[in-house]
């Protein structure tokens, strides 16, 4: 049995067209972009063309796009700079953020650099917008709001424009972790009140180890990584040349094919849930999977039994790749902080299936049949 890969929210396969675009910069065009001779100038031109491509797709200015090592570095940069450079002494976040955000805000809190508040999570996994406004209204100091656009585990999406307007109303800095949505949804950053967003190439069939950080042109921050003048004095270190070229190419392909790919992937997601309901009557969704949700992510909840507790292990043995985590903590499995935050039922097992343009209905059928057998 060939492997069935249903964990695309973790990483996606590298598109062959992207690899083709990268190959010249892995071989002949190897110059250091900081060098002044022809090899260096060719590399510099490739990076600046990639920057223009990314900026155009996101409707931003090229000067607002900075390339990084990935989403984690980008989030760390935005959050830390908001506190140290922009004067934010209060951070509002949520308990269901990616650890790249959670660990950063907790570090700043423990270091005494900012106070930290968490917005309430509603029973369907969405943030409580009324509570968010209350936290902003009650804050007497400059505030940073950092809330992810789409949750990586359950897929729930914030209304980024509504959150942005609240931040604008209370003069707050707004960072949104958009790692799960850049390359999957259209952005119009010139008409969105947000100061920072970030992306990671490997989430949309680009290479690993490369990401981007959008810094609104009205925001002036200091570098998070010191040591050189790369990325217009914002991010020291020799640029990941072929990674940057691959990032831009993957984002361009994702944008060009967005309508067809998104409709196809959404269809797979809905199809799998309907098929699961036919064979496991007590299956349900974690989060708002059929509502305001990322079309690539389906997080399902199974009754907890001796068999279902081993579901991920048994799926792996049967060449089906998925991820998961229940609300409870047992042994080496720390459980899911996301599930625990809003639906902490210790009698349920959570499994995340996430899809890409490369998946097929035949793979879904095989996976569902195997899940029925295992549970």
Q: What φ, ψ does residue 115 adopt, rounded to 5°?
A: -85, 160
Given 88, 167, 285, 328, the catalytic residue? 328
Percent residues over pLDDT 90 in the chain: 88
Listed as own residue / partner, the contacts of 183-186 with beta carbons closer than 8 Å and 24 or more positions apart are 183/250, 183/251, 183/254, 183/255, 184/150, 184/254, 184/258, 184/262, 184/294, 184/295, 184/296, 185/149, 186/255, 186/258
Beta bridge partners of 4: 320
* 328 belongs to the catalytic site: yes
CB 122 within 8 A of CB 128: yes
CB 203 within 8 A of CB 12: yes
Structural domains in the chain plus CATH codes: 4-12+258-374 (3.90.1150.10), 16-256 (3.40.640.10)
The yes-or-no verdict on residue 371 having pLDDT over 80 is yes
Higher pLDDT, 331 or 169: 169
The yes-or-no verdict on residue 70 having pLDDT over 90 is yes
pLDDT, tens digit (0-9, with 9 covering 90-100), for 287-314: 999 999 999 999 999 888 887 788 889 9
Nearest to 189 by CA among 59, 78, 14, 92: 59
pLDDT, tens digit (0-9, with 9 covering 90-100), for 216-269: 999 999 999 999 999 998 999 999 999 999 999 999 999 999 999 999 999 999
CB 148 within 8 A of CB 158: yes
pTM exceeds 0.85: yes
pLDDT at 331: 42
């Amino acid at each position: 049995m060939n492997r069935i890969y249903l964990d695309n929210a973790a990483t996606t396969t590298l598109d062959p067209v992207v690899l083709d675009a990268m190959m010249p910069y892995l071989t002949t065009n190897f110059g250091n972009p900081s060098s002044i001779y022809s090899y260096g100038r060719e590399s510099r031109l490739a990076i600046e063309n990639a920057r223009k491509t990314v900026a155009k797709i996101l409707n931003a200015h090229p000067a607002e796009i900075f390339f990084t090592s990935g989403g984690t570095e980008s989030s760390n940069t935005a959050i830390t700079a908001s506190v140290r450079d922009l004067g934010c002494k209060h951070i509002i976040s949520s308990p269901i953020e990616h650890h790249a955000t959670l660990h950063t805000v907790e570090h700043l809190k423990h270091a005494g650099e900012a106070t930290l508040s968490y917005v309430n999570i509603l029973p369907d996994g969405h943030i409580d917008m009324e509570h968010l406004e209350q936290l902003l209204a009650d804050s007497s100091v400059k505030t940073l709001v950092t809330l992810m656009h789409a949750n990586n585990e359950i897929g729930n999406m914030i209304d980024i424009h509504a959150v942005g307007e609240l931040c604008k109303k209370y003069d707050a800095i707004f960072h949104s972790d958009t790692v799960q949505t850049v390359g999957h949804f259209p952005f119009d950053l010139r008409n969105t009140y947000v100061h920072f967003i970030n992306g990671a190439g490997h989430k949309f069939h680009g290479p690993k180890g490369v990401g981007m950080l959008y810094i609104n042109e009205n925001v002036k921050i200091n570098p998070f990584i010191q040591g050189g003048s790369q990325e217009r004095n914002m991010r020291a270190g020799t640029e990941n040349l072929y990674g940057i070229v691959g990032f831009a190419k993957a984002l361009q392909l994702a944008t060009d094919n967005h309508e067809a790919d998104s409709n196809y992937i959404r269809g797979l997601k809905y199809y799998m849930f309907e098929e699961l309901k036919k064979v496991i009557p007590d299956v349900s969704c974690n989060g708002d999977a059929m509502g305001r949700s990322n079309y690539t992510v389906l997080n399902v909840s199974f009754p907890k039994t001796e068999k279902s507790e081993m579901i991920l292990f048994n799926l792996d043995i049967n060449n089906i790749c998925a991820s998961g985590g229940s609300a409870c903590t047992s042994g080496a499995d720390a459980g899911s902080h996301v599930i625990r935050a809003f639906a902490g039922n210790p009698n349920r097992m959570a499994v995340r299936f996430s899809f890409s343009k490369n998946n097929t209905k035949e793979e879904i059928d095989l996976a569902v049949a195997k899940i029925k057998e295992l549970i």
